[in-house]
């Protein structure tokens, strides 16, 4: 029982570690917005908007991102970037 619990914890830790935002994935894998877009097959402005959290990709593009990044970038990660950006905008407006 203990070994199963320990294995679950290791697996949970591994999943947490490989998950990252699109911006992090691009940086850690030696891309910039243009080079990622070229390999991914879209315009670099799309990648720029997705990475900054300005826009979310359409579901087909999101699915392609998950495949392209080997699920290192997930739907939660895409939303996290957008949520973070919106919170920053709200904080700026309060000041």
Phi and psi at 50, nearest 5°, equal -65, -45
Measured CA to CA, the distance from residue 73 to residue 66 in angstroms comes to 6
Q: Is the pTM of this model over 0.75?
A: no
For position 18, what pLDDT does the model report? 61
pLDDT in tens, 37-53: 999 999 999 999 999 98
């Amino acid at each position: 029982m203990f070994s199963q619990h320990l294995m679950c914890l290791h697996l949970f830790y591994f999943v947490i570690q490989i998950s990252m935002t699109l911006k992090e994935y691009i940086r850690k894998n030696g891309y910039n917005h243009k080079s990622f877009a070229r390999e991914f097959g879209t315009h670099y402005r799309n990648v720029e908007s997705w990475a900054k959290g300005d826009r979310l990709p359409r579901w087909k593009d999101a699915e392609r991102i998950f495949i392209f990044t080997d699920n290192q970038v997930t739907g939660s990660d895409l939303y996290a970037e957008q949520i973070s950006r919106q919170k920053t905008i709200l904080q700026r407006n309060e000041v």
